[in-house]
Structure 1
């Protein structure tokens, strides 16, 4: 019990506090010992990986779906006994600080992300081994931001071409003997975090009911493990438009604002993907086929910090 404190920390390289491919990741390990202590090894690992995990219930059987992908696993040895086992390295009494430095591989990797059944995490783990019966570990995550402006993998060319193009869609919904026609137009498909966009909805209400268009941001998280996939969806209410009376028409324009803390779209991870759509609906359970969905791509804002969770 001579080790009273064991911690690891890193130095920030920018105002965001994020790291990207090719960056130098420096930090230090702090050890506080109540007396002079012999150790076998003191080391630090820098890791980046994606992992997914979920359970399916098949009758009485529970099936585990799990997989992971490693992006890098770097090792830095601070202290190691020369005879590999005699514990000849000494940590002095009191507080000792040991610096370390890594260079993050300059390859395409997705940003840090926490999802429903998976996450992409980048971490530092320090380990102090006194003997096979006495091992101390400490871990901290650091936020990682991809260098790719468009992290869309194989879909990049198709998506990039359409990011600034105007989008239009039409849908006819039936309410009993009447019908309602929706014509939806959005300024573009690609928006950065915190950006606003005007969406125009022409409502031709030939029914005998009052209808009110609603705007939703729909999030789709896809997780893949060993050829099995599971999806998690979430809807955020953007707002409501003005009501349209029976047997009347109206064009409604709403300015929608992308939440600045929203995770950007990414498709460049083999096991986790994040996509969005803009949904315009009349929100009436009596209507048949009442929704219009337009693709929406959320891009990383250059001035936005990384909003991922850390442990």
Structure 2
């Protein structure tokens, strides 16, 4: 084989090897050949894009495929044109990530958001040879989201219809809408238990993934953590306060992509226990 090595690599700028808006990536394209070759062009490419794809079954014989794609940037630089090379060569490159709103790196079985660097080696009468590598991009926090720093409220009434009677009203509040990984989320729940059963509230922090393509939506949720609260006796009112530490390893929310959305939500679930009060 004439070409022994054709690869692309880049330098990390921090210990986490994470880049954000406006950062500059420095790297190199490496070409090693055993004998002289004629190169038509050597091209450097940087791309950021999102893709979704899933299948849905309708009846026994019909399967529909839903796909969509969203591009954020595509930059090309010509490194070489019409030249001959042999031996080992290193071609440096520098690329500045666009300083605009773009979604962070994301990957699942249904969709992905990728930021990648590519090199294309073009030769006459031969298939273009490609080398690529992905880099992790984390978008800067979007502080323009409405209500990000404002207190949040929610309420829910639940009626018991089996093994008991009455209603439970829950008013939930948090200090604000947006939190960083590692921060403490303080939840206050005012519970009015007008049912015949004891209520044991449970707090659930979960993530919600939504995918959009061709007018369809696919969604799935998964729990991140659960916290139990003190019970509330039948016929009583109680204010429950619970502190939840946001896991540091959670990926950031994705709210600025038209085909993929990643959200974190909090719900309070009233579970009933004990004998009915007569």
| TM-score, normalised by the number of residues in structure 1 | 0.77
Tell me the CA shift for residue 173 of structure 1. 3.3
Q: The residue matched to 2:35 in structure 1 has which SS? A: coil
Is this contact kept in 2: 1:108–1:148, CA < 8 A? no
Return the offset for 1:15.
4.6
Cα gap change, 1:22 to 1:216, in 2 (>3 Å): same
Relative to structure 1, the CA distance from residue 20 to residue 182 in structure 2 (aligned partners, 3 Å threshold; closer, same or farther) is: closer
Aligned with 1:271 (options 219, 239, 259)? 259
Are the aligned partners of 2:50 and 2:259 in contact in 1 as well (CA < 8 Å)?
yes
CA distance in 2, matches of 1:222, 1:134: 38
Distance 1:237 1:19 in 2: 28
| Paired position in structure 1 for 2:184 | 196
| Residues 41-50 or 14-23, more deviating | 14-23
CA contact (8 A) 2:153 2:171 kept: no
CA distance in 1, matches of 2:213, 2:24: 32
For 1:42 and 1:283, locate their aligned partners in 2 and report how far apart those are by CA, in whole Å.
64
Give the alignment of 1:40-119 within 5 angstroms. 40-59=40-59, 60-81=61-82, 89-93=83-87, 95-119=88-112
Cα shift at 1:205: 3.4
Range with bigger deviation, 232-241 or 169-178: 169-178
1:196 Cα deviation (Å)?
A: 0.6
1:261-302 Cα deviation digits (max 9, x unpaired)? 2222332222222222210002459xxxxxxxxxxxxxxxxx
Look up the match of 1:39. 39
Are residues 248 and 107 of structure 1, via their aligned partners in 2, closer, same or farther at CA, if it must alter by over 3 Å? closer
Distance 1:189 1:19 in 2: 25
In the other structure, the counterpart of 1:237 is: 225
User: Which of 144, 152, 159 is residue 137 of structure 2 equivalent to?
Assistant: 144
Partner of 1:13: 13
Q: Normalising by the residue count of structure 2, what TM-score does the alignment of the two structures yield?
A: 0.85
Q: Which runs of 5+ in 2 are unaligned?
A: 274-278
C-alpha offsets along residues 136-161 of structure 1, whole Å, 9 cap, x if unaligned?
222111112324533x7xxx3x333x
Which residue of structure 1 aligns with residue 276 of structure 2?
none
Change in CA separation of 1:237 and 1:20 when aligned onto 2, cut-off 3 Å = closer
RMSD, aligned CA: 2.5
Cα distance in 1 for residues equivalent to 2:132 and 2:44: 9
Query: 1:261 matched to which residue of 2?
Result: 249
**TM-aligned CA deviation for residue 30 of structure 1:** 1.2
**Deviation readout 1:60-86 (Å, 9 max, x if unpaired):** 1111111112111111222221xxxxx
CA contact (8 A) 1:184 1:201 kept: yes
5+ long unaligned stretches in structure 1: 82-88, 286-311
Between the aligned partners of 1:234 and 1:106, the Cα distance in structure 2 is 32
What is the CA–CA distance in structure 2 between the aligned matches of 1:31 and 1:248, rounded to whole Å? 75
Q: Tell me if the contact between 1:71 and 1:109 (Cα under 8 Å) persists in the aligned partners.
A: yes
Structure 1 position 195, deviation (Å): 0.7
1:167–1:187 CA contact under 8 A, matched in 2: no
Cα distance, 1:55–1:166 mapped onto 2, change above 3 Å:
closer
Which residue number corresponds to residue 303 of structure 1?
Answer: none
Q: Answer whether contact 1:168 1:186 (CA < 8 A) is retained.
A: no
**SS of match in other structure, 1:270:** coil
Kindly state the Cα deviation for residue 213 of structure 1 after the two structures are TM-superposed: 1.2
